[in-house]
Amino acid sequence: AQLEIDLRQALGRGELAVAYQRQVDARGGTVGAEALLRWRHPQRGKVPPAEFIPIAEQTRLIVELGEWVLEMACRQLVAWAEVPTTAGWTVSVNVSPVQFRESRFVDQVQAVLTRTGAAPSRLKLEVTESLLIHDPDEVRARMIALKALGVRLSLDDFGTGYSSLAYLRRLPLDQIKIDQCFVRELLEDQASAAIVETIISLSASLKLEVIAEGVETAAQQHCLASRGCQFYQGFLYGRPEASIAL
């Protein structure tokens, strides 16, 4: 389709950008940001990631785009590292299952870290449960190789996929992200509240960091905080932006 042709050229034409959305701790201090890919099409304007990421995955273009996002995010890390007030910030990068399953993925990450000089421990790779449908042993081995580079692993959209609690035990994860659908319904729906509470206590038991996404109101934040949530992300703290103000 035309969109696919356009996407192939978007990178070279400077139409892609990375936006950063703040992540905060329980006291409201910024601890880092999530990198989110943006595409401004010359005719169509902003194309939502929900439209172009699936195309990028089907065509495997995501391998190249993903490496570009990773490199931009690592350069941002280096820029933050040079300023005392932002020196401790981390960056989270979404990794498509297509990208993760590429045999050269670990080498790609290592190469970007070396090229940019970013601190591996400040880089968080966000993966989703959908990775685990095929060959969980291979996924586990790759995760162990990534951890050996010193990077962190976060499980995105937790609770929406093919959740098996068995893998949580076996994988070298550092963080769980509570999906926004649960946060959205937190105050209206008892089942969502129960799920959120369960994810937070499960994270604590497994010694994993927990971050809630899609936090839009102070009431949601208070509810999450009362249940022991550690980190927060959402429009309440900031939208995805080209750069994050201090």
Query: Which residue lies nearer to ligand G by CB, 96 or 175?
Result: 96
What is the contact mask toward ligand G in residues 182 to 211, using x (rule: CB under 6 A)? ------------------------------
> Nearest approach, Cβ of 56 to ligand G (angstroms)?
8
User: What's the CA gap between 153 and 142, in Å, rounded?
Assistant: 11
Contact partner, 162, from ligand G, Na ion, Mn ion, none, Cβ < 5-8 Å per class:
none
> Nearest approach, Cβ of 180 to Na ion (angstroms)?
6
Q: How many CB atoms lie within 10 A of CB 46?
A: 9
**Which of 6, 67, 126, 197 is close enough to bind Mn ion by CB under 5 A?**
126
Quote the tokens at residue 122: 């400040």
Identify any residues that bridge with 16 across adjacent strands, giving them in sequence order: 39
238 — phi, psi (to 5°)? 165, 150
**Is 5 exposed, middle or buried (CB count within 10 Å of its CB: 0-12, 13-18, 19+)?**
exposed
Identify any residues that bridge with 94 across adjacent strands, giving them in sequence order: 126
Site for Mn ion in 77-106 (CB under 5 A): 94
233 near Mn ion, rule: CB under 5 A: no
71 near Mn ion, rule: CB under 5 A: no
User: What's the CA gap between 220 and 198, in Å, rounded?
Assistant: 16
In terms of DSSP bridges, do strands 231-233 and 16-25 run parallel, antiparallel, or are they unpaired?
A: antiparallel
Angle at 235 between CA 165 and CA 128, to 5 degrees: 25
Contact partner, 66, from Na ion, ligand G, Mn ion, none, Cβ < 5-8 Å per class:
ligand G
**Which of 157, 171, 178, 211 is close enough to bind ligand G by CB under 6 A?**
157
156 near Mn ion, rule: CB under 5 A: yes
96 near ligand G, rule: CB under 6 A: yes
In terms of DSSP bridges, do strands 45-47 and 30-41 run parallel, antiparallel, or are they unpaired?
A: antiparallel
In the complex, which residues of this chain contact Mn ion (CB under 5 A)?
94, 126, 156
In the complex, which residues of this chain contact ligand G (CB under 6 A)?
21, 36-37, 48-50, 53, 62, 66, 69, 94, 96, 156-157, 180, 213-216, 234-235, 240
